């Protein structure tokens, strides 16, 4: 049900620009107004969310330690999994963000038994997650070709690397395939594993379908139904120079692509996709485990009722004296 | 072909169906985890289910309930006794095997000789069910015993001391006062 | 009973669970899986809200009239105070990496024991009340209304979490279910929905300084017995001091170590070790509890109970504090104490008076873990040890959750164990260190009415012990936590009856060669040092 709802929602979303362009010719709306609006929502929304998070203080240093602490000099500390200083924390966060280290932890296993090949879904989860996020990034960077004139050298290099297989004309980008395959895997995994399906919300399927739609429309544009790339670049350059104008005959497919991207951008700040920012703010990962070395300050630490020694002694003085315990007041 | 050969022959089919049926007694979410995670330390329940199922099929093939069979059933019952099962539900995985076997061998069951052998198989299953129930009851009792033991551990020394107090003083009620009085006497 | 049978008639073998979403599956309170509620007198003593007598099986939980408002305001306050809570409410992508990491899910299979779903119990209410999308879209966006059924669900599942943080290790964003559970329990505390197994120790500890409510004179009595036992076994009469001003070190350990088996043997180990070293230290009857069940109640309660440690150290004028083997106590000491009740500027940076080693990792909080202390002694050859005295023991080591995942103290205990006994075997890799399994009884779950749930949650741990027992004949499970010593004992009795539980310093006590001791023929438990062999008279 949830899956179907998310799927239909994305179909409807894709149909909107199709109808708008095909039948109403609303190129300004879909080429200029909506992209601008989406970017504004994205920036304002993301900043708002991050500021909102950052305004809540971190009252305690609650690092999750995954390796040996720094203690006696002859005991080897695990500086990445249990950092005691900034360098270690940066290293830990880098591993976390660039390599999804914690997710990878799932895969470490041994003594598997049974005659059959082990299922190992967790290995695939890590792989798919890595493939998905990195492909997404590379594709995003490749798109900078449309944002810059002249095209920076590194983008050409990246494109060459990405297309090193040299298959087909235009050259097939590996990341295109990886992205679609990874999204598909993540989607199927969510549907196929009962325990994951049970915890999934529409908000989990929706972004996957949107991203798949973006990828698919992009692939179709590049490899099958060519659109007017010169026109696309003109449009994009106009948008970023704040002199927007819409060149004619770009192709409806492009507007679908653009609209889905706009949807993703506008949806981003309201959704779990904010994990991109949140991962940097997770107190169990971004703090050094040096609690006993450096005092962590809690800005709202307030006085509480305690049971003082004096109250304790008042209650038990006679009994304490009877067994020879020293007392403050006789 | 006799039943032993047939059983060996179709073991995998029976095993698969039976495992499905056993894990189906848990929630669907747990069932898929129990079936799929093959690391015996990450998934002790699934591992035990598979071990037990295999041990039972071994017993049927060799027509003997060995110590290994009993141990396997016992281990499984140890687990079922602490999960959300009523006593009947805890052991009914064995009755579930019969229809699965019936289904797997329906083509050959018309053969009178095999049918006799199959009756033996059925009674073996019944015996194992009884054995399982014994184990189940044993572990349920054990749970209650543990509660008592825990209390004893916890207050072990307090009780010991309190008892000592009674010996000296005869009829003092137990509790804090008792210890304190004893202290002053001393 | 009859009804139960009817419902579960044997023929119903193709049983399938109802195909409803988790939001539509209310909690069923089944004996053995929930803890009895807090008694009114205990809540009253602590000035906690809504003291009353009630039962989880009651339809009406006698919540305060404006309970919804209390919960929502309580959530708002905590969202503003804790970035952890706020971020963890927002960023979970429900990837499911944590799903099969919880020992309660592994052992029982209840989907709501998957950490992600445990957190969703609160997240759904958060979405419905604090996010625009949730307010507008409602269930479509995973939001739900706050009802009494939700409160019942929270009570059930937040007291089926041992705050062990195993799931946090595997989460790509480090989302910490312990943090969520702690918030959930704080909110429940606002309504007076507490469990007695936590609140009674809290009340006792507040008043008498320790969980069992042992009064000072009785405490001395317990020590007297332990000292008699030590004399009986070693020939040495030890005379520790209590509440002594001017001592160099204040020693604090969980009270379970001096009133319960097998913790007392560990406590006897401390006494013998300190005596042998001639350590200038004192015990305290006021701060006679290392454990802090405040951690299982609320952050405020952590502070209220923990305050005693520094207050007593200050009053007695000691230089620094040494802490015994405990799990959650060390979570509090390591991650909360300095922040809540520091700065400890009246203490000095800890230096071992025996070896001169500076404990630089404790220079701010000024409290040293006994394993760090003893490992340093052994490394510097300050102890005469005869590991052969532990030869009848075949030992494995259970990393307790909090020292493992909130401190990372892995090598020190292993170093000590390897020096005091000859037969040490590790459990499989994915069950130790940061991946260690919980005993199933932490965070205030270790009570007898929870027995079934505890045996379930402890099964993965027991299973790994079973493995080394079968493979290496292991007969002793060492741990560094008072709750472990109590709950693992029961766990082993159920799952692996041949394995007994022990603290590290019990092993040290056995191996420690003391000046002027008599020939040791029994271990610290009073059992023969060597296995009795047919007819041999020991």
- Residue C62: pLDDT above 70? yes
Nearest to C107 among B45, B86, B95 (CB): B45
- Same domain? For B117 and B163 the reply is no
A312 reaches C (C-beta below 8 A): yes
Q: What CA–CA distance (Å, rounded) separates A145 from A147?
A: 5
- With an 8 Å Cβ cutoff, are C430 and B39 in contact? yes
**If we measure between CA atoms, which residue out of C118, C132, C108 comes closest to residue C161?**
C118
Domain boundaries, position B82: 3-139
Do A244 and C142 form a contact (C-beta atoms < 8 A)? no
Write the CA distances from A123 to A67, A130, C211, integer angstroms: 21, 11, 45
- Same domain? For C189 and C311 the reply is no
Nearest residue of A to residue B46, measured between CA atoms? A114
Q: Which whole number is the average pLDDT over C257-283?
A: 94
Q: Distance, in angstroms, between B41 CA and closest chain C CA?
A: 6
In a domain, residue B57? The reply is: yes
- Residue A311: pLDDT above 70? yes
In a domain, residue C419? The reply is: yes
- Same domain? For C372 and C396 the reply is yes
Show which of C142, C166, C194 is a domain's final residue.
Answer: C194
Task: Report cis status (omega within 30 of 0) of the bond before C172.
Answer: no
Q: E strands, C167-271, where?
A: 249-252
Domain boundaries, position C346: 202-511
A107 reaches B (C-beta below 8 A): no
Nearest to C335 among A122, A281, A291 (CB): A291
In a domain, residue C528? The reply is: no
Number of domains composing chain C: 2
Number of domains composing chain B: 2
In a domain, residue B177? The reply is: yes
In a domain, residue C531? The reply is: no
- With an 8 Å Cβ cutoff, are C339 and A193 in contact? no
**If we measure between CA atoms, which residue out of C185, C270, C183, C258 comes closest to residue C225?**
C258
Task: Report cis status (omega within 30 of 0) of the bond before C53.
Answer: no
B123 reaches A (C-beta below 8 A): no
- Same domain? For C478 and C435 the reply is yes
In a domain, residue B49? The reply is: yes
**Edge-to-edge, what's the strand order for the sheet holding C395-398?**
C395-398, C476-479, C500-503
- Residue C18: pLDDT above 70? no
Q: What CA–CA distance (Å, rounded) separates A24 from C430?
A: 61
Supply A263's token pair: 């949807």
The pLDDT tens digits for C127-149 are 999 998 888 888 888 899 999 99
- With an 8 Å Cβ cutoff, are A195 and B38 in contact? no
Task: Calculate the average pLDDT of chain C.
Answer: 92
In a domain, residue B149? The reply is: no
Most B CBs within 10 Å, among C109, C200, C450, to test the B interface:
C109
The position carrying tokens 């529409």 is: A202
Q: Which residue has the higher pLDDT, C20 or C145?
A: C145
What's the confidence (pLDDT) of residue A21? 87
Do C320 and C349 form a contact (C-beta atoms < 8 A)? yes
- Measured in whole angstroms, the distance separating CA C528 from the mean position of its chain's CA atoms is 31
Q: Distance, in angstroms, between C531 CA and closest chain A CA?
A: 33
- Same domain? For C288 and C313 the reply is yes
Q: What CA–CA distance (Å, rounded) separates A189 from C512?
A: 56
**If we measure between CA atoms, which residue out of C222, C284, C224 comes closest to residue C250?**
C284
In a domain, residue B160? The reply is: yes
In a domain, residue B83? The reply is: yes
Q: Distance, in angstroms, between A58 CA and closest chain B CA?
A: 33
Most B CBs within 10 Å, among C10, C14, C34, C100, to test the B interface:
C100
* Torsion A120-A124-A127-A130 (CA) sign: negative
Q: What are phi and psi of C397, to 5 degrees?
A: -125, 130
The pLDDT tens digits for C368-377 are 999 999 999 9
B to C CB pairs, distance under 8 Å: 149
Write the CA distances from B104 to B9, B59, B109, integer angstroms: 11, 18, 10
Q: What CA–CA distance (Å, rounded) separates A80 from A90?
A: 9
- Same domain? For B135 and B161 the reply is no
- Same domain? For B120 and B167 the reply is no
- Same domain? For B134 and B179 the reply is no
Nearest residue of A to residue B35, measured between CA atoms? A119
Q: Name the A residues in 167-206 with CB < 8 Å from any C CB.
A: 193, 195-196, 198-204
- Same domain? For B78 and B128 the reply is yes
Contacts of C97 in chain A (CB under 8 A): 102-103, 106, 122, 125
- With an 8 Å Cβ cutoff, are A111 and C428 in contact? yes
Do C284 and C189 form a contact (C-beta atoms < 8 A)? no
- With an 8 Å Cβ cutoff, are C109 and B29 in contact? yes
Nearest to A109 among B32, B39, B184 (CB): B39
- Same domain? For C308 and C189 the reply is no
Q: What CA–CA distance (Å, rounded) separates C334 from C314?
A: 19
Q: Name residues whose C-beta falls within 8 Å of residue B136's C-beta, 6 or more positions apart in sequence.
A: B77, B80, B81, B87, B90, B91
Do C324 and C252 form a contact (C-beta atoms < 8 A)? yes
- Same domain? For B82 and B14 the reply is yes
Cα three-residue angle C483-C485-C487, rounded to 5 degrees: 65
Q: Distance, in angstroms, between C140 CA and closest chain A CA?
A: 7
- Same domain? For B134 and B176 the reply is no
Helices (H), chain B: 3-9, 11-23, 28-36, 44-62, 67-80, 87-91, 97-104, 112-154, 156-169, 176-185
Length of chain B: 186
What's the confidence (pLDDT) of residue B182? 36
Q: Which whole number is the average pLDDT over C25-38?
A: 90
Q: Which whole number is the average pLDDT over A20-29?
A: 87
In a domain, residue C163? The reply is: yes
In a domain, residue B144? The reply is: no
- Same domain? For B180 and B109 the reply is no
In a domain, residue C464? The reply is: yes
- Band of residue C482 on the pLDDT scale cut at 50, 70, 90: very high
Which chains contact B through at least 3 pairs of Cβ atoms less than 8 Å apart? Answer: A, C
Nearest residue of B to residue C31, measured between CA atoms? B84
3-state percent breakdown (helix, strand, coil) of chain C, nearest 5: 50, 5, 40
- Same domain? For B123 and B164 the reply is no
- With an 8 Å Cβ cutoff, are B41 and C467 in contact? yes
- Same domain? For C190 and C217 the reply is no
- Residue A293: pLDDT above 70? yes
Q: Which whole number is the average pLDDT over C162-167?
A: 95
Q: What CA–CA distance (Å, rounded) separates C508 from C2?
A: 55
Domains recognised in chain A with CATH numbers: 63-108+119-253+282-322 (1.20.950)
* Torsion A28-A33-A38-A39 (CA) sign: positive
Contacts of B42 in chain A (CB under 8 A): 109
Q: What CA–CA distance (Å, rounded) separates C216 from B150?
A: 24
Low-confidence ranges of chain B (pLDDT < 50): 164-186
In a domain, residue C356? The reply is: yes
Supply A78's token pair: 């695990």
Q: What CA–CA distance (Å, rounded) separates C146 from A266?
A: 29
- Band of residue A154 on the pLDDT scale cut at 50, 70, 90: confident
- Same domain? For B124 and B161 the reply is no
Q: Which whole number is the average pLDDT over C359-367?
A: 96
Nearest residue of A to residue C308, measured between CA atoms? A308
- Same domain? For B52 and B135 the reply is yes
The pLDDT tens digits for C80-90 are 999 999 999 99
- Same domain? For C189 and C222 the reply is no
- Same domain? For B76 and B18 the reply is yes
In a domain, residue B109? The reply is: yes
Q: What CA–CA distance (Å, rounded) separates B81 from B145?
A: 14
Most C CBs within 10 Å, among A80, A84, A108, A199, to test the C interface:
A199
- Same domain? For C320 and C370 the reply is yes
What's the confidence (pLDDT) of residue B165? 42
Task: Calculate the average pLDDT of chain A.
Answer: 89
In a domain, residue C526? The reply is: no
C469: left (phi over 0), alpha (psi -120 to 50) or beta: alpha
- With an 8 Å Cβ cutoff, are A270 and C133 in contact? yes
- With an 8 Å Cβ cutoff, are C91 and A57 in contact? no
Residue A188: how many other CB atoms lie within 10 Å: 12
- With an 8 Å Cβ cutoff, are A63 and C242 in contact? no
- Residue A292: pLDDT above 60? yes
Rg of chain C over all Cα atoms, to the nearest angstrom: 24
- With an 8 Å Cβ cutoff, are B147 and C467 in contact? no
Residue B8: how many other CB atoms lie within 10 Å: 12
């Amino acid at each position: 049900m949830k899956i179907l709802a998310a799927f239909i929602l994305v179909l409807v979303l894709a149909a909107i620009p199709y109808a708008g362009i095909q039948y109403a010719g609303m190129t300004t709306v879909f080429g200029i107004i909506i992209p601008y609006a989406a970017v504004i929502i994205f920036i304002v929304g993301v900043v708002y969310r991050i500021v909102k998070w950052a305004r809540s203080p971190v009252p305690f240093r609650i690092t999750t330690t995954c390796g040996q602490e720094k203690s006696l000099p002859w005991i080897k500390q695990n500086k990445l999994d249990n950092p005691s200083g900034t360098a270690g924390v940066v290293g830990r966060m880098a591993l976390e963000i660039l390599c999804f280290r914690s997710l990878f932890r799932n895969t470490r296993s041994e003594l598997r038994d049974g005659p059959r090949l082990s299922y190992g879904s967790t290995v695939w989860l890590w792989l798919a997650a890595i493939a998905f996020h990195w492909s997404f990034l590379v594709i995003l960077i490749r798109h900078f070709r449309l944002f810059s004139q002249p095209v920076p050298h590194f983008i050409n290099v990246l494109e060459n690397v990405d297309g090193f297989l040299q298959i087909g004309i235009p050259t097939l980008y590996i990341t295109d395939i990886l992205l679609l395959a990874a999204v598909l895997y993540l989607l199927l995994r969510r549907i196929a594993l009962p325990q994951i399906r049970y915890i999934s919300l529409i908000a989990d399927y929706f972004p996957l379908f949107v991203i798949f739609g973006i990828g698919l429309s992009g692939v179709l544009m590049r490899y099958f139904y060519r659109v007017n790339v010169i026109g696309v670049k003109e449009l994009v350059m106009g948008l970023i120079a704040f002199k927007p104008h819409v060149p004619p005959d770009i192709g409806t497919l492009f507007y679908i692509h653009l609209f889905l991207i706009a949807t993703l951008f506008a949806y981003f700040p309201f959704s779990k996709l904010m994990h991109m920012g949140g991962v940097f703010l997770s107190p169990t990962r971004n703090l050094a485990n040096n609690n006993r070395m450096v005092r962590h300050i809690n800005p709202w630490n307030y006085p509480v009722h305690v049971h003082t020694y004096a109250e304790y002694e008042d209650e038990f003085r006679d009994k304490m004296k009877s067994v020879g315990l020293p007392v403050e007041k006789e | 072909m006799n039943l032993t050969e047939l059983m060996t022959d179709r073991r995998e089919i029976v095993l698969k169906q039976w495992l499905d049926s056993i894990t189906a007694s848990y929630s669907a979410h747990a069932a898929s985890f129990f079936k799929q995670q093959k690391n015996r330390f990450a998934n002790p329940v699934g591992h035990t289910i598979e071990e037990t199922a295999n041990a039972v099929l071994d017993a049927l093939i060799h027509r003997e309930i060995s110590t290994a069979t009993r141990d396997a059933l016992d281990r499984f019952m140890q687990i079922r006794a602490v999960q959300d099962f009523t006593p009947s539900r805890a052991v009914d995985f064995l009755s579930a095997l019969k229809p699965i076997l019936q289904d797997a061998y329906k083509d050959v069951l018309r053969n009178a000789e095999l049918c006799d052998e199959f009756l033996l198989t059925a009674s073996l299953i019944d015996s194992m069910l009884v054995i399982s129930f014994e184990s189940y009851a044993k572990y349920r009792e054990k749970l209650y015993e543990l509660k008592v033991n825990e209390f004893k551990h916890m207050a072990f020394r307090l009780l010991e001391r309190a008892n000592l107090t009674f010996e000296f003083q005869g009829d003092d009620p137990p509790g804090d006062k008792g210890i304190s009085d004893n202290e002053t006497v001393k | 009973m009859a009804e139960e049978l009817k419902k579960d008639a044997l023929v119903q073998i193709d049983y399938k669970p109802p195909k409803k979403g988790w939001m539509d599956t209310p909690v069923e309170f089944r004996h053995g899986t929930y803890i009895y509620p807090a008694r009114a007198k205990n809540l009253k003593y602590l000035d906690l809200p809504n003291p009353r007598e009630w039962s989880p099986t009651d339809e009406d939980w006698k919540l305060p009239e404006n309970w919804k408002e209390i919960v929502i305001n309580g959530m708002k306050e905590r969202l503003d105070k804790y970035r952890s809570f706020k971020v963890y409410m927002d960023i979970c992508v429900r990837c499911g990496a944590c799903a099969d990491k919880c020992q309660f899910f592994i052992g029982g299979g209840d989907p709501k024991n998957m950490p992600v779903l445990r957190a969703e119990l609160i997240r759904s209410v958060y979405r419905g009340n604090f996010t625009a999308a949730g307010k507008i879209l409602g269930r479509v966006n995973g939001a739900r209304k706050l009802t009494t059924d939700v409160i019942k669900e929270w009570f059930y599942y937040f007291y089926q979490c041992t705050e062990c943080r195993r799931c946090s290790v595997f989460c790509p964003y480090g989302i910490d279910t312990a943090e969520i559970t702690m918030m959930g329990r704080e909110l429940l505390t606002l309504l007076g929905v507490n469990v007695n197994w936590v609140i009674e120790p809290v009340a006792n500890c507040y008043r008498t300084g320790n969980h069992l409510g042992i009064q000072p004179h009785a405490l001395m009595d317990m020590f007297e017995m332990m000292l008699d036992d030590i004399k009986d076994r070693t020939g040495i009469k030890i005379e520790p001091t209590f509440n002594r001003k001017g001592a160099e070190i204040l020693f604090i350990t969980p009270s379970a170590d001096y009133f319960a088996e097998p913790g007392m043997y560990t406590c006897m180990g401390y006494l013998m070790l300190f005596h042998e070293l001639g350590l200038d230290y004192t015990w305290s009857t006021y701060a006679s509890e290392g454990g802090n069940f405040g951690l299982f109640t609320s952050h405020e309660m952590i502070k209220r109970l923990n305050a005693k440690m520094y207050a007593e150290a200050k009053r007695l004028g000691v230089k620094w504090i040494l802490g015994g083997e405990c799990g959650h106590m060390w979570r509090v000491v390591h991650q909360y104490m300095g922040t809540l009740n520091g700065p400890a500027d009246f203490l000095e940076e800890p230096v071992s008076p025996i070896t001169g080693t500076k404990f630089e990792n404790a220079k701010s909080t000024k409290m040293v873990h006994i394993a760090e202390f003893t490992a340093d002694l052994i490394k510097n050859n300050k102890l005469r040890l005869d590991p052969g005295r532990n030869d009848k023991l075949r030992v494995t080591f259970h990393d307790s959750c909090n020292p493992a995942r909130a401190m990372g103290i892995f090598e020190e205990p292993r170093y000590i164990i390897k020096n005091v006994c000859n037969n040490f075997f590790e459990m499989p890799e994915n069950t130790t260190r940061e991946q260690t399994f919980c005993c199933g009884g932490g965070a205030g779950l270790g009570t007898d009415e929870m027995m079934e749930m505890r045996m379930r949650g402890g099964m993965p741990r027991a299973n790994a012990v079973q493995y080394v027992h079968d493979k290496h004949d292991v007969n002793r499970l060492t741990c560094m936590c008072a709750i472990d010593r109590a709950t693992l004992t029961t766990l082993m009795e159920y799952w692996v009856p041949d394995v007994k539980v022990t603290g590290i310093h019990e092993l040290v006590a056995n191996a420690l060669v003391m000046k002027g001791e008599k020939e040791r023929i029994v271990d610290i438990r009073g059992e023969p040092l060597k296995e009795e062999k047919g007819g041999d008279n020991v």
